[in-house]
Amino acid sequence: MEPTSILAIYILFWVMAAFIVLPIGIRNHHESGIEMVKGQADGAPVNFRPLRVLLLTTLLATAAFGLFYLNYANGWITLDSIDFFNSRERLR
């Protein structure tokens, strides 16, 4: 696999992991019992910690990409192994 492909796929895993990690542990003002500032959005987070989000996102993306790359290198799961309806055979 080319290094540019590895980087592009890792970035895709990182973005997907960011969307998974972002809502974890976030509380808004209503849940925390803190008074809102005038003009503030109802769902604005009280305890957003961007460094924690970056760390968790990087850890999750690295683990997921590691599994992806090991599968790519070893061929554990292939298209033929998940083709339950023999659709590849019918396309020939």
CA distance 64 to 82: 19
The model's pTM = 0.81
What the block records as the tokens of 49 is 């910690």
Question: Which of 1, 10, 6, 25 has the alpha carbon at shortest distance from 60?
Answer: 10
Bridge partners (DSSP) of residue 45 are: 28
> Cα-flanking dihedrals φ and ψ of residue 41, to 5°?
-70, 145
What tens digit of pLDDT does each residue of 14-69 get?
999 999 999 998 888 888 888 888 888 888 888 889 999 999 999 999 999 999 99
Contact 45, 27 (CB under 8 A): yes
